[in-house]
Chain A
Amino acid sequence: MSQTISQPESRSDAPGQPAIVSVTGLTKRFGDRLVVDNISFAIQRGQCVGFLGPNGAGKTTCINMLLGLVEKSAGEIRIFDLEAPRFHRDIKARIGVVPQADSLDPDLSVEENLSTYAGYFQIPRRLARQRIEELLHFFALHNRRDEIIEHLSGGQRRRLLLARALLNEPQLLILDEPTIGLDPQARHLIWERLAILQAKGTTMLLTSHYLDEVSRLSQQVLILDHGQVVVQGEPRQLITDMVGLEVFEVDGTTAELDALAASFRQCNATQERVGDKLYVYAREDCSRLVKVLGEAGSWVRRPANLEDLFIQLTGRSLRES
Chain B
Amino acid sequence: MNGFSFWTIWLRNARVWKKNILATLIGNLGQPLLFLLAMGYGLGRDMAPVAGLTYLQFIAPGLVASAVMYSAALETTYGSYTRLTVQKTYEAILMTPLGFVDLVLGEIVWGASKGMLAGVIMLLALPLFGVMPSPWVVALLPMLFLSGMFFSAFGLIMTALAKNYDFFNYFTSLVITPLFLFSGIFFPVQTMAPPVRGVLEMLPLTPIVSLARIFCYGRFGEPVLMKIIGSLLATGCAVWLAGYLLRRRLIQ
Q: Interface on A for B, CB 8 Å cutoff?
A: 30, 64, 67-71, 88-90, 92-93, 95, 97, 99, 101-108, 112, 116-117, 119-122, 168
B251 touches A69 (CB 8 A): yes
Contact of B95 among A99, A112, A122 (CB under 8 A): A99
Check A102/B88 contact, CB under 8 A, given A93-B97, A117-B96.
yes
Interface centre among B93, B250, B252 (most CB of A within 10 A): B252
Query: With an 8 A cutoff between CB atoms, is B177 at the interface?
Result: no
A92 touches B92 (CB 8 A): no
Could you give 29 example pairs across A and B, Cβ below 8 Å?
Answer: A30-B252, A64-B252, A69-B91, A69-B250, A70-B252, A92-B95, A93-B96, A93-B97, A97-B95, A99-B88, A99-B95, A103-B89, A103-B92, A107-B16, A107-B87, A108-B16, A116-B8, A116-B15, A117-B92, A119-B8, A119-B12, A120-B9, A120-B93, A120-B97, A120-B98, A121-B97, A122-B2, A122-B8, A122-B97
Chain A residues whose CB sits within 8 angstroms of the CB of B251 once the complex forms:
68-71
Q: Mark B229-252, 1 if CB is under 8 A from A, else 0.
A: 000000000000000000000111
Chain B residues whose CB sits within 8 angstroms of the CB of A108 once the complex forms:
15-16
B5 touches A101 (CB 8 A): no
State how many angstroms separate the Cβ of B80 from the closest Cβ of chain A.
14
Chain B residues whose CB sits within 8 angstroms of the CB of A117 once the complex forms:
92, 96
Complex Cα distance, B87 from A103, in Å, reads 6
Query: With an 8 A cutoff between CB atoms, is B174 at the interface?
Result: no
A67 touches B12 (CB 8 A): no
Complex Cα distance, B250 from A64, in Å, reads 11
Chain A residues whose CB sits within 8 angstroms of the CB of B1 once the complex forms:
89
State how many angstroms separate the Cβ of A120 from the closest Cβ of chain B.
4
Q: How many residues of B contact A (CB 8 A)?
A: 25
Complex Cα distance, B99 from A64, in Å, reads 14
B87 touches A120 (CB 8 A): no
Q: Interface on B for A, CB 8 Å cutoff?
A: 1-2, 5, 8-9, 11-12, 15-16, 19, 87-89, 91-99, 250-252
Complex Cα distance, B95 from A168, in Å, reads 12
Contact of B96 among A101, A106, A112, A121 (CB under 8 A): A121
Interface centre among A30, A89, A93 (most CB of B within 10 A): A89
Can you add 18 more A-B contacts, CB < 8 Å, to A99-B95, A103-B92?
A30-B252, A69-B250, A70-B252, A71-B252, A89-B99, A101-B88, A101-B91, A103-B87, A104-B92, A105-B16, A105-B89, A117-B96, A119-B8, A119-B11, A120-B93, A120-B97, A122-B97, A168-B96
Chain B residues whose CB sits within 8 angstroms of the CB of A71 once the complex forms:
251-252
State how many angstroms separate the Cβ of A225 from the closest Cβ of chain B.
21
State how many angstroms separate the Cβ of B23 from the closest Cβ of chain A.
12
Complex Cα distance, B97 from A117, in Å, reads 11
Complex Cα distance, B2 from A121, in Å, reads 11
Chain B residues whose CB sits within 8 angstroms of the CB of A120 once the complex forms:
8-9, 93, 96-98
**For the complex of A and B, 10 pairs with smallest distance between CB atoms:** A103-B88, A103-B92, A120-B96, A107-B16, A119-B8, A93-B97, A97-B95, A70-B252, A89-B97, A92-B97
A99 touches B92 (CB 8 A): yes
Chain B residues whose CB sits within 8 angstroms of the CB of A168 once the complex forms:
96
Chain B residues whose CB sits within 8 angstroms of the CB of A105 once the complex forms:
12, 16, 87, 89, 92
Chain A residues whose CB sits within 8 angstroms of the CB of B99 once the complex forms:
88-89
State how many angstroms separate the Cβ of A117 from the closest Cβ of chain B.
7
Chain B residues whose CB sits within 8 angstroms of the CB of A95 once the complex forms:
95
Complex Cα distance, B87 from A104, in Å, reads 7
